[in-house]
Amino acid sequence: MLEVILALAIISLAAGGLSLGLVLGRGPALTPCSAADKNPETRCADCPLRRRKAGGPAE
């Protein structure tokens, strides 16, 4: 039972931190692809953002 309470507390803190960031104007959390949007040399070869910038087919 203690594990369930601890898991709920951790999830609540994480959700609270994300919502507090949204309320304070930081914007939504970034996905790996959207975070790497400004750094094209570190993207993997099958990244859809890399193909879109190179003029290839976008998914």
- pLDDT at residue 6 in the model: 98
pLDDT tens track for 6-51: 999 999 999 999 899 889 988 777 776 666 666 666 656 666 655 5
pLDDT of residue 41: 64
- pLDDT band of 5, cuts 50, 70, 90: very high
- Better-scored residue on pLDDT, 18 or 55: 18
> 26-59 b/e with 16+ CB inside 10 Å = b?
eeeeeeeeeebeeeeeebeeebeebeeeeeeeee
pLDDT at 38: 62
